[in-house]
Amino acid sequence: MGLADARMSPLLTAVVLLASATSRVGFAQWIFAVVVIGVLLRGIAKGYRLAWLWGRYLALFLGVTVLVGLGVGLWKGEVPWRIAAVMGGGLVLPLLVTTVALGRPSAFRWFDLYCPGCGKVTGRGNDFLFREARCKECGDVF
């Protein structure tokens, strides 16, 4: 699933090829990243709350981390502008858009994060795997 997604996006493929040619990341690390992305995409498609949690906050963390790294690289003159533009448009922008998209009301409905008792949105799990959610306002478990 993850490899097919990379083939569908020429920009993402270009970013992966560019990064693999200029970094010391091993092949096993790329495979691990593809597997993690595939598992997250599958969980999001099925509406698993744990995938929502990881997808939203991992995308935010990775997007900010890459953005800071690009900024430092540009400031020190170690990263060319063309590479920064490709990485920004092909990696940082989709990660930040994903974070925003998973924070929309439609995403809260998809992942069943509205409390049936009071109607408030919750992002708090009742168990470790987030199979049940717990409302912050009324304490209801659903």
Domain ranges of the chain: 2-109, 112-142
DSSP-assigned beta bridge partners for residue 114: 121
Q: Is 134 left (phi over 0), alpha (psi -120 to 50) or beta?
A: beta
Place of tokens 């200029």: 22
Read off the pLDDT of each residue in 116-122 and give the average, rounded to a whole number: 90
Looking at residue 20, its pLDDT comes to 63
Looking at residue 82, its pLDDT comes to 92
What is the average pLDDT score of the chain? 86
* Residues above pLDDT 90, as percent of the chain: 56
Read off the pLDDT of each residue in 74-97 and give the average, rounded to a whole number: 92
In this predicted model, what pLDDT tens digit does every residue of 49-67 receive, in sequence order?
Answer: 999 999 999 999 999 999 9
